Structure 1
């Protein structure tokens, strides 16, 4: 009975259970299996769940503010990361300010350009799709799903494909350079964006009860597969590189930004469940897409991987904080 009545306990049982299953499957199966599953979810599963949930979502109110809040969080995270990189005073920073130490052969700064790129990306974009949306649906149901979806599609997805690619291209060591059309092409080729339009149009199309139930069941199955995929991806993470930088990154991404912007949402007329949805999306750990950019542009992949691994574990401890602070 407690399992049925307590949404947070239900969420934790689902998160830990399905992610753990995915973790063990990832250890047993070849790496390509998680890639195939992720591609299936990207092209078929996630669009199906979007159509199903958007049909029952509440699209009234100021949901158009969700992507604006997303971009505010992205830019604020990047701004704080840039300040920390350039003005943070610590042992490495003091070495950089010392010309003698800087010319020393033992000098090896922790803020190389590829490391800066990974650090910036990890503080800016979170796992709002495969992780943030399941968390929102489990805690608040499908009624407020549109807030999370607008945040993810028009905020995170656009941010990582436009701003993320630009940062990775600038900070990376790769000779690969993309034209300004490439990020835009990636956005418009995203099946989730087309599924959002289809779901919105189909809201006025009545479906029989069995078909509606089948659609909803399929959507929740996709959520479960997404959690298993996260576990499979986490099973490949085996690094604790640049731990101090990772902890600083997560403090900005998962604590400072949600707290400050979440508190400020009240002054913009956003309160109650919609505010909690946005705070939870802001508080997600770094997106797995940051490792893809790190690999494509030769950024600091170890930092990106470590931030994701520790961030996913930290999420179990931060969700109750946001529920306590903003669930009213």
Structure 2
């Protein structure tokens, strides 16, 4: 409970700082901070934390579970859409269907999942969260997510955006730093450099939470509450409950299982909003799901920690 209280103070405090700064600073500042974290901050934190994590055991199963969670979320959202069509003899607009499915399947396992994992489980099992995000969520968002977005979105821009999505995956510095970090684990560096690297990593974690607050401060849409609620029930309750109860069959138990459950229970990723804007999906639904999910997490997080 003490760790959870400390986490809440840090989470809420840093996000509130971001909300305040987001309303005071120029609108371009969050974009530039995001670019800094994307190209420098997050890669440094990945390299630093990889030096302190345990890579033994069945860690490679983490991305496989991530894909299962993504597919299960998309399938449950599709079931809900078909059920609505059966009961009401009407279907939501394709753009709304696309945003609902995306919000149900892709979670914020990086900017939000990483600091929560570090706070509640520690550095030793951080690699499980890292593998889940970089080898699972990333490809789920910009792989399957793009395919779904092209299916439900504006068909006029599909081919060019598909190429951009593939390029975004290939040049993603987080993936490259992940590979470099695995090699750099074997290199011995002076304690002063180790301390500087670790400090820089934690600063990047803090800045990522501030960035979330800054982005939330710019969200003004609260429409589509019903559809957003459906996607959050699927993403933050049903998927982690169903798959979390089966982790022992995959040989994942203890702290490793806790990390996987926390990653599965994260709210929708900002990538869902990026895809909604890029492919002309239902932006209002994406925005509402993001804002609601960030608040719902404060309620669901203690439940998952207690249950697992």
TM over 0.5, shorter chain: yes
Q: Hey, what does 1:94 align to over in structure 2?
A: 88
Superposition map of 1:70-149 within 5 A: 70-88=66-84, 93-96=87-90, 111-149=92-130
Look up the SS of the partner of 1:88 in the other structure: helix
In 2, Cα distance between equivalents of 1:50 and 1:178: 32
The answer to whether the aligner puts 1:282 opposite 2:264 as a matched pair is yes
In 2, Cα distance between equivalents of 1:78 and 1:171: 13
Task: Please state how far the C-alpha of 1:238 moved relative to its aligned partner.
Answer: 1.8
Q: Hey, what does 1:16 align to over in structure 2?
A: 12
Q: Which of 251, 254, 268 is the equivalent residue of 2:250?
A: 268
Q: Following TM superposition, where does structure 1 have runs of at least 4 consecutive aligned residues deviating by more than 3 angstroms?
A: 179-184
Task: Please state how far the C-alpha of 1:183 moved relative to its aligned partner.
Answer: 3.4
CA contact (8 A) 1:294 1:304 kept: yes
The answer to whether the aligner puts 1:49 opposite 2:36 as a matched pair is no
Look up the SS of the partner of 2:246 in the other structure: helix
In 2, Cα distance between equivalents of 1:307 and 1:46: 24
Q: Hey, what does 1:304 align to over in structure 2?
A: 286
Q: Hey, what does 2:201 align to over in structure 1?
A: 219
In 2, Cα distance between equivalents of 1:264 and 1:6: 29
In 2, Cα distance between equivalents of 1:143 and 1:6: 20
Q: Hey, what does 1:190 align to over in structure 2?
A: 172
Look up the SS of the partner of 2:58 in the other structure: coil
In 1, Cα distance between equivalents of 2:28 and 2:150: 26
Residues 140-177 of structure 1, C-alpha deviation per residue, up to 9 Å, x if partnerless? 11100110000000100011111111111111125212
Task: Please state how far the C-alpha of 1:188 moved relative to its aligned partner.
Answer: 1.7
In 1, Cα distance between equivalents of 2:159 and 2:173: 21
Q: Hey, what does 1:6 align to over in structure 2?
A: 2
Task: Please state how far the C-alpha of 1:178 moved relative to its aligned partner.
Answer: 2.6
The answer to whether the aligner puts 1:162 opposite 2:143 as a matched pair is yes
- CA 1:267–1:209: 2 relative to 1, 3 Å: same
In 1, Cα distance between equivalents of 2:233 and 2:292: 11
Q: Max radius of gyration: which structure?
A: 1
Look up the SS of the partner of 2:221 in the other structure: coil
The answer to whether the aligner puts 1:31 opposite 2:27 as a matched pair is yes
Q: Hey, what does 2:63 align to over in structure 1?
A: 67
The answer to whether the aligner puts 1:249 opposite 2:231 as a matched pair is yes
Look up the SS of the partner of 1:22 in the other structure: helix
Q: Which of 36, 41, 44 is the equivalent residue of 1:40?
A: 36
Q: Please, which runs of 5 or more residues in structure 2 have no aligned partner?
A: none
Q: Please, which runs of 5 or more residues in structure 1 have no aligned partner?
A: 97-108
User: TM-score normalized by structure 1?
Assistant: 0.91
